[in-house]
A and B are shown apart, each in its own frame.
Chain A
Amino acid sequence: EAQVTQNPRYLITVTGKKLTVTCSQNMNHEYMSWYRQDPGLGLRQIYYSMNVEVTDKGDVPEGYKVSRKEKRNFPLILESPSPNQTSLYFCASGPGWGYGYTFGSGTRLTVV
């Protein structure tokens, strides 16, 4: 089944403790991206990647890191999480410009 898999689905952590949210797709998509969703603000892009080793900032990249060492994986790293990063995070992938994206099921992160 074609899908984007995110892990974990839920995560509660403490301020400053480094964490990684994984994202993997099995559709051989060139493009992958991370979004955060907050009430009233919609989906805001954090980082995106057009291909392996090619990443670029979205609208809200501060406090996040990404890497794209393999085509199928695009982990989101929070080196020192803070409470304002409490949010619902979505990973998405797509064939490239001009095509729609497939979203993962989401990761609900709480930083206390």
Chain B
Amino acid sequence: QQPVQSPQAVILREGEDAVINCSSSKALYSVHWYRQKHGEAPVFLMILLKGGEQKGHEKISASFNEKKQQSSLYLTASQLSYSGTYFCGAGGFGNEKLTFGTGTRLTIIP
């Protein structure tokens, strides 16, 4: 079952902050975050691992609540280049069966 992302779409003005949520019905051992611009491939932003380790983008932060099986991606002082569709991916432990959410479309306007 795919993780549920919210909101499905959001429009912000440049400089505003955004939060994208990802909720899984299964136990989470890792959460991936990717951004995809129209007509392009998804690009890796960040990975959060059970136990607290995080790896990824300098200007983007995220949280991982293992008990609630939820993750949130925080985009602060958004720039026009942040526009795109954001996907979270829920991963198990020890294998790479990764299930993505249906995406959140973020539009930043000047």
Contacts and interface: CB of A to CB of B under 8 A. Distances in A.
Chain B interface size, under 10 / 10 to 19 / 20 to 34 / 35 or more: 20 to 34
Contacts, number: 70
Contacts of A96: 96
Interface of B: 2, 30, 32, 34, 40-47, 49, 53, 55-56, 87, 89, 91, 93-103
Given A33-B98, A45-B98, A106 B41 contact: yes
Interface residues of A, number: 27
Contacts of B32: 100-101
B3 to A, nearest CB: 9
B55 A42 contact: no
A50 B98 contact: no
B42 A103 contact: yes
Interface in A68-112: 90, 94, 96-106
